Structure 1
Amino acid sequence: MNGTGSRTTPNTPNTSATTGITNTEAHTLHLTKEKETLLATLYGRALDSRAEQPILGDSTAVDTVRRLHHDFHYDFRKLRLSPGDAAGVALRARQLDIWTARFLARHEHATVVHLGCGLDTRIYRLDPGPGVRWFDIDYPEVIELRRKLLPQRAGYTTIPSSVTDPAWVAQIPSDQPTMIVAEGLLMYLTEEEGTSLLRRLMAHAPGGELAFDAFSPFAIRAQWLNRVVMRTGARLHWGTDAEGIARLSPRLRIVENLSMVETPEVGKLPAAHRLMARTAAKIPAVRDMGRMYHCAF
């Protein structure tokens, strides 16, 4: 759902609000390739929040973009996200929010494991109760940036690690139903890395659910069409389908399997983008390039 076009950075104030960043020198972001794509996801959520009819309405993303622009001098305009790009980011985040919120409504005491969290604000959007232990995992430099920009809260832990390092899993409790969420992550891993990661977590948890998006093998072959990937120098690796997901574990059951262009919130898109989504939905190879999976294990 990547489109073309340049958008302006959400309004940046002339003076910065308190950011929690204490260095006196100018700050520079040192995020490369796959790590830099988290800024495109953040910017997409911010643009959606400023849309006439927001899908996600993530106002915290707007504030975070302002602070990165002011304190780190990051020019989000170079990402050239279109309204269609922003809507695609918001649609994906909204569906994962819905599945996670339903899980938490059924489990007052639970664990949430958010893989490759980037600068996502899901914990603040969903505001889980005191019985929920929430873990956000990402590279150390991403977690460091996250700690500078976003507030801490009770029951919330960040883990600075590559998600593919097996060692961090020992920090996750294994005594409660567990929700595992991965947004815009698995396609950047190799098949071996991705399957090992999900199997390791399912073996560690007593039971629970998985919610994630995945690209098809065709989408991996056509990644040169993904402008954010091309601009950041990132590379996509793992493409799969429902049969590949089902083979992850005999414990796993696919509860819902949605194309990105067929999620319930597509109706909120601007007219031109609704038409594009309807057209894409009629072409199986295009429709299935990005799908969202909700699984139980």
Structure 2
Amino acid sequence: MNGRVPVDLSGAAQTMLTTLYLKALDADFVRPVLGDRYAKGAVARLDYDWRQIGVTGRWAPLITVRTAQYDLWTRQFLAVHQSATVAHLGCGLDSRVFRVDPGPAVQWYDVDFPEVIALRERIYPSRRGYHLVAASATDPSWLERIPTDRPLLLLAEGISMYLPQHEGVALLRRITQRLPSGELQIDFYNRLAVRSQKRHTLVRRSGSTLHWAVDGPDEILRAVPGVRLLTAVTLFDADTFVRASAAFRLAKRVVPMVPPLRNALQYHRYAFGPATKAPESQRHPSARMLEEGLRR
């Protein structure tokens, strides 16, 4: 025995290994986007042949730009709501709770399939106010554990595309109906990205299928009553994209010529409950363009 933790995952849950591995590779870059030392430590602890992932560090910004953007938005939310609840759905092996290091009044819930939670328990430590919930994101039971007397930040990174649309919409509606106020921070693939899923190495190797496609925030605003758009950006518009490699920054000059390609990866941020004026620092300059419709 080598003392490392064995891995036995399949389907959508298996994709978290690729995202973890790319974050670990990014941590060794001279100019990392995320700089996640926890991911690097987790990769070292897992008994897994990482060569079978079949990706190299050049693809890391596809994951790390998004994750770093949601870290930024999470910190902004918690700076305003210091006694909030955070529900991180489909947390996988992401170490956001440790990277963000929320204050002592924050209650943080990491939610994922039982086999994923069991793996997390073996590679990450516990901490005050931190809870692990073994449940599917679409299982209504996890929501019953969330306090209803404080604002909620829902983090749903990298899971919407694996859900059927009706299940995803029902999930967001349940949250906004049960909780008094908070934010939904969630990313989407557009229809071009979902239609071309057979070309996605990550999806193809895991045997999973992409379902829910969203072309712009207006679709969520129509489907989920009571939510308000705060910010919506693409991979290329994210605040954290400036940290990406030169090759990715070069691609930004080309993709605006093809709007469906430019908008393939979208990061959305919504508020619900009583309206409060968001600080200007929390609104990205590209938000107005996305509010008017990403599909142009």
CA distance in 1, matches of 2:149, 2:264: 36
Q: Name 2:174's counterpart in structure 1.
A: 200
CA distance in 1, matches of 2:252, 2:8: 35
Deviations 1:84-138 (A, max 9, x none): 3211111000010111100000011100010000001000001001110000100
1:80 CA displacement:
2.1
CA distance in 2, matches of 1:217, 1:198: 20
1:176 CA displacement:
0.2
TM-score by length of 2: 0.88
Residue 106 of structure 1 pairs with residue 84 of structure 2 = no
1:41 to 16, 19, 22: 19
Which residue identity lines up with residue 271 of structure 2 in the other structure?
Answer: A
Structure 2 stretches of 5 or more lacking a match? 273-296
Q: Name 1:185's counterpart in structure 2.
A: 159
Q: Name 1:228's counterpart in structure 2.
A: 202
Does the CA contact (< 8 Å) of 1:259 and 1:291 recur in 2? yes
CA distance in 1, matches of 2:10, 2:202: 12
TM-score by length of 1: 0.88
Deviations 1:228-273 (A, max 9, x none): 1111111100001222111232310111110112212222222222
Does the CA contact (< 8 Å) of 2:112 and 2:134 recur in 1? yes
Which residue identity lines up with residue 211 of structure 1 in the other structure?
Answer: Q
2:38 to 44, 60, 75: 60
CA distance in 2, matches of 1:29, 1:110: 33
CA distance in 1, matches of 2:153, 2:107: 10
Count the aligned residue pairs.
Answer: 270
Deviations 1:156-214 (A, max 9, x none): 00100111111221111111011000110000000011111111111111101111110
Q: Name 2:150's counterpart in structure 1.
A: 176
CA distance in 2, matches of 1:146, 1:246: 34
Q: Name 2:100's counterpart in structure 1.
A: 126
Which residue identity lines up with residue 267 of structure 1 in the other structure?
Answer: V
CA distance in 1, matches of 2:90, 2:203: 16
Q: Name 1:31's counterpart in structure 2.
A: 9
Moved more, 169-178 or 265-274: 265-274
1:278 CA displacement:
2.7
Q: Name 1:278's counterpart in structure 2.
A: 253
Q: What does residue range 59-98 of structure 1 map to in structure 2 within 5 Å? A: 59-68=37-46, 72=47, 74-98=48-72
| Shift in alpha-carbon separation, 1:50–1:78, aligned structure 2, 3 A | same
CA distance in 1, matches of 2:131, 2:192: 36
Deviations 1:48-77 (A, max 9, x none): 111110111100100100111xxx2x1112
Q: What does residue range 152-163 of structure 1 map to in structure 2 within 5 Å? A: 152-163=126-137
Does the CA contact (< 8 Å) of 1:49 and 1:56 recur in 2? yes
The percent of aligned pairs where both chains have the same amino acid is 40
Q: Name 1:260's counterpart in structure 2.
A: 235
Q: Name 2:29's counterpart in structure 1.
A: 51
Residue 149 of structure 1 pairs with residue 155 of structure 2 = no
Does the CA contact (< 8 Å) of 1:215 and 1:289 recur in 2? yes
3-state SS of paired residue (2:252):
helix
Q: Name 1:238's counterpart in structure 2.
A: 212
Q: Name 1:136's counterpart in structure 2.
A: 110
Q: Name 2:282's counterpart in structure 1.
A: none
1:282 CA displacement:
2.9
3-state SS of paired residue (2:210):
coil
CA distance in 2, matches of 1:110, 1:237: 31
